[in-house]
Amino acid sequence: MSHDSNKNQRHSIRLKDYDYSQAGAYFVTICTHNKECIFGKVVNGEMVSNEYGRVVEEEWAKTAEIRKKVALDVSVVMPNHFHGILVIVDKCRGTVHRAPTLEQFAKPTSGSLPTIVRYFKSAVTRRINDPRGTPYMAVWQRNYYEHVIRNEDDLDEIREYIVNNPLKWDLDSENPNNAGATWGSPQGEVPSPLR
């Protein structure tokens, strides 16, 4: 039986040769593992975060607190995904850059979008799983969606999308009533609405 070495290889969804550590604004969307609704519920067009959703909010805020070259713009935690705008501010001259697409399977590039998202996802996962004694339970999907924000119009449009996301939850493709996602916790338990 022959082995197809390309069959199980991960393919990058990042822009080829784009330096994700360079200054700029980035729109990030991260979905939960199996799109399970574990962060709370949308009630009357407003997101009501449970304890897990509050962990996501807190860790996102910490992202800018612990990284001097990062600023945060609008964000929203939804029942089974997260949207946020992250801004990497200008780096000092003389900093060595390499295309972060190289870091996908190699050493992380400090201050790059992939590294920032990786640490954010890891911190949220640890804070959700450690108290429950489930250190290897997946909280997030393996990858994430990003969009390089090109101009002010793009930024304004994305801000509006994020702010209005809870209002449009009934129509959202990530809503389990629309897309076949599941309601539950990483352990398969059904969470209470305001947990």
Instruction: For tokens 């992202």, name the residue.
Output: 63
The reply to whether 190 falls in a domain is no
The reply to whether 150 falls in a domain is yes
CA separation for the pair 58, 61 (Å, rounded): 5
What the block records as the tokens of 64 is: 């800018």
Distances in Å between the alpha carbon of 106 and those of 67, 98, 101, 115, 175? 22, 12, 9, 11, 35
CA separation for the pair 48, 20 (Å, rounded): 32
Backbone angles phi, psi at 46, to 5 degrees: -125, 140
Please count the structural domains in the chain: 1
The reply to whether 108 falls in a domain is yes
- Least confident window among 37-51, 116-130, 177-191: 177-191
The reply to whether 113 falls in a domain is yes
The reply to whether 76 falls in a domain is yes
**pLDDT (0 to 100) of residue 164:** 96
Other beta carbons within 10 Å of 102: 11
Model confidence pTM above 0.85: no
- The candidate with the shortest Cα–Cα distance to 143, out of 125, 117, 170, is 117
- Least confident window among 1-10, 29-38, 39-48, 134-143: 1-10
Mean pLDDT score of the chain = 80
Question: Quick check: 110 pLDDT over 90?
Answer: no
Which CATH number covers residue 63? 3.30.70.1290
Which domain does 119 fall in, by range? 24-165
pLDDT tens-digit series, residues 27-85: 999 999 999 999 999 999 999 999 999 999 999 999 999 988 999 999 999 999 999 99
CA separation for the pair 81, 99 (Å, rounded): 27
CA separation for the pair 169, 186 (Å, rounded): 21
The reply to whether 17 falls in a domain is no
CA separation for the pair 120, 155 (Å, rounded): 22
Split at pLDDT 50, 70, 90, the class of 180 is low
The reply to whether 192 falls in a domain is no
DSSP 69-120: TEEEEEEEE-SSEEEEEEEEPPPPTT-----GGGGGGSSPPTT-HHHHHHHH
